C-alpha cells in the first residue's frame, strides 16, 4: 500500500530537481500569502463580488492584463534559465530534458498565455469605449472566455510541478509529440491547456465581431471607427477562421495519444506532416492575430502624440484586410525544408513576400503621420517610435527567410529565432507596452510615471537589441535553435555572452516597469479630466476610470476622431447632460467562473487519463450550461437617481 502511494507520487510529482523543489516551495508560499492577505483584510467577498463574478468588459480586460504580466514573468524566467545554460560552452546548469521542457513552456506561454491575453485584455478595455458602447455584445460569454483562458493557463503551468512539463517544442511536431516517443502527461497538458484557452479565444472572436459590427454609436460608420477598433475587428475575424483549426489539430492529437488513433503516427497509415499543416494553418494567422492589434495601437498612439490625423486611414484599413487574407495562404513557409516540391515552395515563397507590401504601406503611413507633426515624446510614443525600426529589422529578415532556397541555410538556426523575436517583441510586446502606458489612466484613474516609464523603456529597448542583433550572426555562424549546449572552439561564445547580458537587461527593464506600476499606484498623478493625452477617440470622452455604464448618454458621432470633433464643437458635455434614462445592464454571474473550473478538472482528468474525474466534471459543465439556458432574470436597470449620483460625483453633471 505505502509502496503503491510512493510509486504514484513519484510519477505524479516532479522529484529530484532542486530548481523544481524551489518552485514548489515558492508556489506554496505565495498561495499561503494570498490566502492570508485576503483573509486578514477580509477581502474574500470583495474578490468574489467585484472580480470573480464580474462580466464588465473593463474589469475583465484588467484581469486579462494582470494574467498576461504574470505570464510574461514566468515566460521571462524560462528565457533567462535558457540563456544561463547556453552562455558558455559545455555548461551543466540544465540537463537536456529540462532544457527541452523550458523552451517548450517558454514558447507556448509567451504566445498563447502572454501575447494573446495582453491583446484580448486591451480589446476589452478599449473597444467598447472607442465605439461608444456600454459593454460587449455578450458580456456573460466574455467572462466565460476569460475564465477558460485562465484555467487553460493554470493547467498548462501546473505541468512543471505535477507530472512534468511538455517537451516537444511549442510547435509540438509529430511523431515526436506522439504517444510512442513522448509518453506521460506532459504533452497532454499542452494539448488540453491550449484547447481550453483556445475555445475561450474563439468565443472572444465571435463576441468582438458582433460587438463592433452591431454596437457602434449612432453615426459611427465603419470608416469612422478608430484604427484600434478596426484592427480588433479584423483580428476577431482571423480568430474565428483560424482557431477552429487549432481546435481540430489539438483534438486529433489528443485522440491519437489517449485513444490510440493514427492521425499523426508513422504506423498504420498516419501522416505526421498533417500535424505540421494543421498547426501552421492556425499558427500563421495567429502571428497576425498578435500583431494587428499592436498595429492598431501604434496608429492611435502615433496620431495622438503627433497631434495630427492618421495619414492614409483607408490605406491602413485595406492593408489590414489584405494582410488578414494573405495570412491564410502562407503557412507552408514554416516547413520549406520538409520535402515539398520546388513548385509548392515557390508559391508559398511568393505569397509570403507579398505580405511585406501591405505591411510596408502601413510603415509609410506611420512615417507620414509623424511628418510635420508636433511630436510629443511620451513613454507610449517612445515605444511606438522604437517599434518602427525594430519591427522593420524583423520584417526584412522575414523576407530573407521567405526565399525558399535561402531558407535551407537559415532554417531552424538562431537567425530564425532572432527574426521572430524581433517581430514579436519589437511588434507585439512594444505595442502592448505602449498600450499599457496609453490606456493605464483609463483603466485605473492615474497616469504611470513618465520618468520611470522612460527609464524602463530605454533599458528594455537597448537590451532587446543587445540580445537579438547578435543572434542573427550566431545563427549565420551555424548555431541551431533548441540545442541545450555546444562544444568549445566554434567561436560562438563571445556572441552568446553578449546575448545573455541583453536578456538580463530586458529583465531589469521589466522590473523597472513593475516598480513604476507600484510607484504610480501610490504616488502617480491622478487623472481628473478623463483625457490626459489630448485624445481623439471616444474612450477619452468619459471619466478615468470609466463609470460602470461607460456613457450616461451614448455619444453621437459625425466624423472619425469623434472626440476631437466634439471638443472642437464644444459638445463634450452632452454625454453627462440630464435628464437621464434608466440604463439596461447585465447582472454579474458566478457561473462562468464555476463552469471554467469544472472544465479545468475535466481537463486535468484527461491529462492523467483519469476518466472517473473527467467524465463527471464534463457532465457537471453541461449542467451549468443548462442552468444558464433556463436563466431569464439576468439583467437589471440602473435607476436615474443612481446615474445622477454617479455623474455628479465625477463632477460632470450639467
Partner 1 sequence: MSSVASNQSNKPYEPLEYSTEDGRLRILGFWIFLGAEIVLFSCLFATYLVVHSHTAGGPTSKELYDVKEFMIETFLLLISSFTCGLGTHELRRHNAKGIIIWLIITLLLGLGFIYMEVNEFVKYATEEGATVGRSAFLSGFFVLVGTHGAHVSLGILWMTSIIIQLAKRGVTAVTARKVFIVGLYWHFLDVVWIFIFTAVYLTGMVL
Report the chain's terminal Cα–Cα distance, integer Å.
76
Options 358-366, 407-415, 451-459, 622-630: segment touching partner 1 (CB under 8 A)? 622-630
The residue (of 32 and 626) whose beta carbon lies closer to partner 1 is: 626
Q: Is 270 in the site for partner 1 (CB under 8 A)?
A: yes
Q: Residues 588, 54: contact at Cβ < 8 Å?
A: yes
* Binding pattern for the stretch 578-617 against partner 1, x by CB under 8 A and - elsewhere: ----------------------------------------
Cα angle for residues 536, 131, 314 (degrees, 5° grid): 65
CA distances (Å), origin 380, targets 238, 430, 487, 508, 545: 27, 9, 43, 19, 18
Q: Is 382 in the site for partner 1 (CB under 8 A)?
A: no
The residue (of 111 and 278) whose beta carbon lies closer to partner 1 is: 278
Single residue of 249, 323, 382, 506 touching partner 1 by CB under 8 A:
249
Query: Exposure string (b/e) for 351-385, b if CB count within 10 Å is 16 or more?
Result: bbebbeebbebbbebbeebbeebebeebbbbbbbb
The residue (of 49 and 214) whose beta carbon lies closer to partner 1 is: 214
Could you tell me the smallest distance in angstroms from the CB atom of residue 111 to partner 1? 20
> Quick one: which of 300, 279, 282 has its CA closest to 290?
282
Single residue of 66, 181, 248, 521 touching partner 1 by CB under 8 A:
248
The residue (of 204 and 304) whose beta carbon lies closer to partner 1 is: 204
The residue (of 214 and 581) whose beta carbon lies closer to partner 1 is: 214
Q: Is 623 in the site for partner 1 (CB under 8 A)?
A: no
Could you tell me the smallest distance in angstroms from the CB atom of residue 206 to partner 1? 5
* Binding pattern for the stretch 498-537 against partner 1, x by CB under 8 A and - elsewhere: ----------------------------------------
Instruction: Please name every residue paired with 446 in a beta bridge, in sequence order, or none if there are none.
Output: 526
Options 256-264, 351-359, 485-493, 606-614: segment touching partner 1 (CB under 8 A)? 256-264
Q: Which residues contact 182 (CB under 8 A, 6 or more apart)?
A: 167, 168, 176
The residue (of 65 and 191) whose beta carbon lies closer to partner 1 is: 191
In the window 306-345, what residues touch partner 1 (CB under 8 A)?
none
| Three-class DSSP category at 119 | helix
Grid cell at residue 623: 449542467
Report DSSP letters for 154-208, one per residue: HHHHHTTTBT----STTTT-TTTTSTTTS-SHHHHHHHHHHHHHHHHHHHHHHHH
Single residue of 56, 78, 182, 256 touching partner 1 by CB under 8 A:
256
Could you tell me the smallest distance in angstroms from the CB atom of residue 590 to partner 1? 21
Single residue of 67, 252, 294, 566 touching partner 1 by CB under 8 A:
252
Q: Residues 482, 169: contact at Cβ < 8 Å?
A: yes
The residue (of 445 and 616) whose beta carbon lies closer to partner 1 is: 616
Q: At what angle do helices 450-476 and 414-423 cross, to 10 degrees?
A: 150
Could you tell me the smallest distance in angstroms from the CB atom of residue 272 to partner 1? 11
The residue (of 189 and 264) whose beta carbon lies closer to partner 1 is: 264
Single residue of 274, 329, 477, 594 touching partner 1 by CB under 8 A:
274
> Quick one: which of 240, 253, 129 has its CA closest to 190?
253
Single residue of 64, 118, 138, 298 touching partner 1 by CB under 8 A:
138
What is d(CA 254, CA 647) in angstroms, rounded to the nearest whole number? 53
Single residue of 22, 219, 260, 639 touching partner 1 by CB under 8 A:
260
Q: Which residues contact 56 (CB under 8 A, 6 or more apart)?
A: 135, 139, 548
Q: Is 135 in the site for partner 1 (CB under 8 A)?
A: no
Q: Residues 75, 111: contact at Cβ < 8 Å?
A: no
Options 226-234, 250-258, 516-524, 540-548: segment touching partner 1 (CB under 8 A)? 250-258
Could you tell me the smallest distance in angstroms from the CB atom of residue 202 to partner 1? 6
The residue (of 16 and 269) whose beta carbon lies closer to partner 1 is: 269
Cis omega (within 30 of 0) for bond into 143: no
What is d(CA 363, CA 287) in angstroms, rounded to the nearest whole number? 18
Please tell me what DSSP assigns to residue 48.
Answer: I
The residue (of 206 and 356) whose beta carbon lies closer to partner 1 is: 206
Single residue of 65, 79, 137, 557 touching partner 1 by CB under 8 A:
137
Instruction: Please name every residue paired with 444 in a beta bridge, in sequence order, or none if there are none.
Output: none
Q: Is 31 in the site for partner 1 (CB under 8 A)?
A: no
Q: Residues 485, 89: contact at Cβ < 8 Å?
A: yes
* Binding pattern for the stretch 200-239 against partner 1, x by CB under 8 A and - elsewhere: --x--xxx-xx--xxx------------------------
Q: Is 244 in the site for partner 1 (CB under 8 A)?
A: yes
Number of amino acids touching partner 1 (CB under 8 A): 43
The residue (of 206 and 217) whose beta carbon lies closer to partner 1 is: 206
Grid cell at residue 135: 459593454
Q: Residues 186, 98: contact at Cβ < 8 Å?
A: no
| Three-class DSSP category at 636 | strand
Could you tell me the smallest distance in angstroms from the CB atom of residue 211 to partner 1? 8
Residues at the interface with partner 1 (CB under 8 A): 137-138, 202, 205-207, 209-210, 213-215, 240-245, 247-249, 251-252, 255-256, 259-263, 265, 267-271, 274, 278, 281, 622, 626, 629-630, 632
Amino acid at each position: 500500500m505505502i509502496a503503491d502511494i510512493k510509486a504514484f507520487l513519484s510519477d505524479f510529482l516532479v522529484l529530484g530537481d532542486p530548481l523544481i523543489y524551489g518552485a514548489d516551495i515558492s508556489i506554496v508560499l505565495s498561495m499561503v500569502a494570498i490566502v492570508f492577505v485576503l483573509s486578514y483584510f477580509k477581502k474574500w467577498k470583495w474578490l468574489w463580488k467585484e472580480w470573480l463574478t464580474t462580466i464588465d468588459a473593463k474589469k475583465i480586460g484588467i484581469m486579462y492584463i494582470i494574467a498576461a504580466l504574470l505570464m510574461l514573468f514566468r515566460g521571462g524566467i524560462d528565457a533567462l534559465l535558457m540563456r544561463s545554460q547556453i552562455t558558455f560552452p559545455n555548461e551543466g546548469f540544465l540537463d537536456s530534458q529540462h532544457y527541452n521542457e523550458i523552451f517548450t513552456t517558454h514558447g507556448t506561454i509567451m504566445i498563447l498565455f502572454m501575447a494573446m491575453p495582453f491583446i484580448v485584455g486591451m480589446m476589452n478595455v478599449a473597444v467598447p469605449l472607442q465605439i461608444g458602447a456600454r459593454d460587449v455584445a455578450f458580456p456573460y460569454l466574455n467572462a466565460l472566455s476569460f475564465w477558460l483562458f485562465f484555467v487553460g493557463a493554470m493547467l498548462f503551468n501546473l505541468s512543471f510541478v505535477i507530472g512534468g512539463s511538455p517537451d516537444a517544442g511549442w510547435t509540438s511536431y509529430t511523431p515526436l509529440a506522439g504517444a510512442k516517443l513522448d509518453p506521460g502527461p506532459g504533452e497532454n497538458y499542452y494539448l488540453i491547456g491550449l484547447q481550453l484557452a483556445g475555445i475561450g479565444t474563439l468565443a472572444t472572436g465571435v463576441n468582438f465581431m458582433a460587438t463592433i459590427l452591431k454596437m457602434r454609436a449612432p453615426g459611427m460608420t465603419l470608416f469612422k471607427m478608430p484604427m484600434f477598433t478596426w484592427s480588433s475587428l479584423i483580428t476577431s475575424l482571423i480568430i474565428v477562421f483560424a482557431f477552429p483549426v487549432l481546435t481540430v489539430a489539438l483534438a486529433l492529437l489528443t485522440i491519437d495519444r489517449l485513444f490510440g488513433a493514427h492521425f499523426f503516427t508513422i504506423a498504420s497509415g498516419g501522416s505526421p506532416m498533417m500535424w505540421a499543416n494543421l498547426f501552421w494553418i492556425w499558427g500563421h494567422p495567429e502571428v497576425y492575430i498578435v500583431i494587428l492589434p499592436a498595429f492598431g495601437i501604434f496608429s492611435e498612439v502615433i496620431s495622438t502624440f503627433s497631434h495630427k490625423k492618421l495619414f492614409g486611414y483607408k490605406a491602413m484599413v485595406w492593408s489590414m484586410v489584405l494582410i488578414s487574407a494573405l495570412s491564410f495562404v502562407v503557412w507552408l513557409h514554416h516547413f520549406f525544408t520538409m520535402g515539398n516540391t520546388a513548385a509548392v515552395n515557390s508559391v508559398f515563397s511568393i505569397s509570403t513576400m507579398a505580405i511585406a507590401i501591405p505591411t510596408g504601406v502601413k510603415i509609410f503611413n506611420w512615417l507620414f503621420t509623424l511628418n510635420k507633426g508636433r511630436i510629443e515624446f511620451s513613454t507610449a510614443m517612445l515605444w511606438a517610435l522604437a517599434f518602427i525600426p525594430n519591427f522593420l529589422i524583423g520584417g526584412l529578415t522575414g523576407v530573407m527567410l521567405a526565399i525558399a532556397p535561402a531558407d535551407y541555410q537559415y532554417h531552424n538556426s538562431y537567425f530564425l529565432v532572432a527574426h521572430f523575436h524581433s517581430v514579436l517583441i519589437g511588434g507585439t510586446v512594444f505595442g502592448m507596452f505602449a498600450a499599457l502606458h496609453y490606456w493605464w489612466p483609463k483603466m485605473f484613474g492615474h497616469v504611470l510615471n513618465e520618468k520611470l516609464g522612460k527609464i524602463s523603456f530605454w533599458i528594455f529597448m537597448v537590451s532587446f537589441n543587445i540580445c537579438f542583433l547578435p543572434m542573427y550572426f550566431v545563427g549565420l555562424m551555424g548555431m541551431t535553435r533548441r540545442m541545450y549546449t555546444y562544444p568549445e572552439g566554434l567561436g560562438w561564445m563571445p556572441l552568446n555572452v553578449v546575448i545573455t547580458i541583453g536578456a538580463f537587461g530586458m529583465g531589469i527593464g521589466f522590473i523597472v516597469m513593475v516598480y513604476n506600476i507600484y510607484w504610480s499606484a501610490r504616488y502617480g498623478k491622478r487623472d481628473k479630466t478623463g483625457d490626459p493625452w489630448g485624445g481623439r477617440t471616444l474612450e477619452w470622452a468619459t471619466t478615468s476610470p470609466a463609470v460602470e455604464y461607460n456613457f450616461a448618454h451614448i455619444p453621437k458621432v459625425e466624423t472619425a476622431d469623434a472626440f476631437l470633433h466634439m471638443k472642437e464643437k464644444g459638445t463634450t458635455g452632452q454625454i453627462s447632460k440630464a435628464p437621464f434614462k434608466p440604463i439596461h445592464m447585465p447582472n454579474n454571474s458566478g457561473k462562468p467562473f464555476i463552469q471554467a473550473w469544472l472544465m479545468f478538472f475535466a481537463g486535468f482528468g484527461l491529462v492523467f487519463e483519469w476518466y472517473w474525474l473527467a467524465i463527471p466534471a464534463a457532465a457537471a459543465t453541461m449542467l451549468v450550461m443548462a442552468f444558464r439556458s433556463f436563466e431569464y432574470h439576468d439583467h437589471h436597470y440602473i435607476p436615474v437617481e443612481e446615474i445622477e449620483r454617479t455623474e455628479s460625483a465625477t463632477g460632470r453633471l450639467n
